[in-house]
Amino acid sequence: MNATTANNRKYLASGALVVLIAAGAYGLGRVYPPFGPTEGTITPADRYVAPQVGEGDVTLGDTSIPQLMQSDAFEVMTKDPNFRAMAKDPGFAALARNPQAMAAMAANPQAFAALARDPQAFAAMVRNAETASAAGRAANARDAQAFAAMARHANAFDALARHPQAFAAMARDAQAFAAYAKDANAFAAAARNPAGVTAMARQAQAFQALARDSAAMSALAGDAQAFDAMARNADAFSAMARNAAALSAAARSAQAFASQGRAANAFDSSAASAIAMNAQAFNALALQPQAFAALAQHPQAFAALARHPQAFAAMARNANAFSAYGRDADAFAAAARNPAGIAAMARDAQAFQALARDSAAMSALARDAQAFSALGRNASAFNALASNAQAFQAAMNQQALDAMARNAKAFQAMARDANGLAASARAAQAFNSQAAAAQGRLDAQAMSAMARNPQAFSAMAANPQAFAALARNPAALAAFARNAQAFAALGRNPNFQALAMNANFAAALQSPAFSQAIAAR
């Protein structure tokens, strides 16, 4: 009986898909009759690609919804009770129309749960995060080196972060503390009696409180080179010393980054600096951790593809079609030279021919043909990124992927934990916002908002336009609030991440075939 019921449900879902595809084909055939023979291979239909998708964006004849519903990610998620409950919520479709914001909130559900219940507070934080985003884009090599220094000496700087006034005093005059790198005991003695030390006297009570914190003093004694690291980045630390609370928050973000690196046995100062310098791009990739990990495992090959974004996007949209080239890179080279006869290449023939003429790129792909296999193994994640033109452009930043390629070993090690790699990118993005605040580039209101909810603030600052749109949609916020527990359960699920970021997902939620497939489970 159970088997019969299951089969009936399966046939119902499949039948709904067939009806939807047949209707599309019929409509298309009436408007554009075929020229010549109709037999042969079926090539992918043109898709409408846009950052936000509404109900009217998918027209008859567009197969994007059936293709999404036939994906592995959809098949897995329809069996999940949390997903089915959310999919039946009328407000969930409104939230899904903003895939970048929804994915960021799903990655930090606890940070957003309370905010989503208060639309006014949500909108106010978005406005402040927009200010922080503009300031954070001013992050430069100097700030990135400071981030790497903090992350390399994370325990020492985390100890100092618990004493923000003393930390800021040290940052303002880092050279004065450099000598303590050779003698941590001398620092402890000076902190106990700061009145006679010029660099400490103005904050005597703060240094005495630090001296009484045995755990903090032990951390500094265990890594006295933190004093030297601060001195070598004196300009950056001096600039950040303008706001003691933000400086301490930045140190905690560096500590979070370092924790992820240690967990993967993959910390590297150069990689830390690279992530901080390209935090915006890496944070965009963090919305699809499986794709991010694939890029990190094959950095030179994907950096080569990033120099040809149109061809790369075509490959990401149809990743399974390219996975076979993992066994034969020469076949890919031949196909790229003559793409007109290859269904997955024909629409972007000139882009693939340009790629084929790039000898350096083709050499990189030949040396690591497994990059094609990685595309196929993570097809849902790459398809989700490619379905959203804005997200794909932000994530596949040439400078960021080149930085990844230059630090290949570190990124390959971090890629063993896809969600950990994504968390590292979010920590670097948070640092940039906090460093901007520490340098006085944020007003008091924005500083207060960041202090109240640093994770949500950082996520908003990474993608202010998406969150500004969400702030204008109270139904979407209410849907998140009602389903906060479900988002907490699904936020790290790669199948949900792939669906949530797919630009066709919101339209699929409105499809009768989708409703029937959900009900059939």
pLDDT confidence tier of residue 189, bands split at 50, 70 and 90:
very high
**Rounded distance between C-alpha atoms, residue 346 and residue 45, angstroms:** 12
Considering the domain architecture, whether residues 201 and 319 belong to the same structural domain is answered as no
Give the burial class of 62: count Cβ atoms within 10 A of its Cβ; 0-12 exposed, 13-18 middle, 19 or more buried: buried
160 located within any domain: yes
41 located within any domain: no
Answer yes or no: is pLDDT of 469 > 90. Answer: yes
User: What confidence score (pLDDT) does residue 155 get?
Assistant: 93
Tens digits of residue pLDDT in 138-160: 556 788 899 999 999 999 999 99
Answer yes or no: is pLDDT of 37 > 70. Answer: no
Identify the domain boundary among 159, 194, 211: 211
194 located within any domain: yes
Return the DSSP state at 55: G
- The total of structural domains in the chain comes to 2
**Rounded distance between C-alpha atoms, residue 230 and residue 215, angstroms:** 20
Structure tokens that stand for 176 in this block: 């004065």
User: What confidence score (pLDDT) does residue 202 get?
Assistant: 95
Considering the domain architecture, whether residues 306 and 287 belong to the same structural domain is answered as yes
User: What confidence score (pLDDT) does residue 318 get?
Assistant: 92
**What's the pTM value of the predicted model, to 2 decimals?**
0.70
382 located within any domain: yes
Q: How far is CA 370 from the centre of its chain?
A: 23
Tens digits of residue pLDDT in 369-405: 999 999 999 999 998 888 878 788 888 988 999 999 9
Among candidates 148, 173, 131, 468, which has minimal Cα distance to 277?
148
Contacts of 137 (CB under 8 A, 6+ apart): 280
Structure tokens that stand for 487 in this block: 């988002």
35 located within any domain: no
Mean pLDDT of 259-267: 75
Among candidates 505, 497, 473, which has minimal Cα distance to 53?
505
415 located within any domain: yes
Torsion of CA 483, 430, 307, 420, to 10 degrees: -60
Structure tokens that stand for 329 in this block: 């890179």
Q: What residues make up the domain containing 117?
A: 81-147+245-492
Considering the domain architecture, whether residues 193 and 292 belong to the same structural domain is answered as no
**Rounded distance between C-alpha atoms, residue 240 and residue 483, angstroms:** 39
442 located within any domain: yes
Considering the domain architecture, whether residues 305 and 321 belong to the same structural domain is answered as yes
Share of the chain above pLDDT 70, in %: 86
Answer yes or no: is pLDDT of 186 > 60. Answer: yes
**Rounded distance between C-alpha atoms, residue 46 and residue 383, angstroms:** 14
Q: Which residue has the tokens 């009145």?
A: 195
C-alpha distances in Å from residue 390, one per residue of 49, 234, 371, 397, 458: 9, 37, 23, 11, 19
**Rounded distance between C-alpha atoms, residue 245 and residue 447, angstroms:** 9
Work out the mean pLDDT of the chain and round it to a whole number.
Answer: 83
Structure tokens that stand for 152 in this block: 């390399």
pLDDT confidence tier of residue 439, bands split at 50, 70 and 90:
confident
Determine the residue type at 404: M
Contacts of 255 (CB under 8 A, 6+ apart): 150, 151, 154, 155, 157, 158, 161
Mean pLDDT of 322-331: 96
User: What confidence score (pLDDT) does residue 280 get?
Assistant: 82
Residues 153, 154, 156, 160, CA torsion sign: positive
Residues 433, 436, 437, 443, CA torsion sign: negative
Alpha-carbon Rg for the chain, nearest whole angstrom, is 26
466 located within any domain: yes
Considering the domain architecture, whether residues 330 and 370 belong to the same structural domain is answered as yes
Considering the domain architecture, whether residues 126 and 160 belong to the same structural domain is answered as no
pLDDT confidence tier of residue 181, bands split at 50, 70 and 90:
very high
Structure tokens that stand for 143 in this block: 């700030």
Mean pLDDT of 46-57: 37
User: What confidence score (pLDDT) does residue 194 get?
Assistant: 97
Identify the domain boundary among 169, 193, 211: 211
Tens digits of residue pLDDT in 65-121: 888 888 888 888 988 999 988 888 888 988 998 888 998 898 888 889 888 999 998
pLDDT confidence tier of residue 40, bands split at 50, 70 and 90:
very low
Considering the domain architecture, whether residues 161 and 284 belong to the same structural domain is answered as no
Considering the domain architecture, whether residues 254 and 362 belong to the same structural domain is answered as yes
Considering the domain architecture, whether residues 127 and 155 belong to the same structural domain is answered as no
Considering the domain architecture, whether residues 339 and 254 belong to the same structural domain is answered as yes
User: What confidence score (pLDDT) does residue 51 get?
Assistant: 36
Considering the domain architecture, whether residues 107 and 154 belong to the same structural domain is answered as no
Considering the domain architecture, whether residues 260 and 206 belong to the same structural domain is answered as no
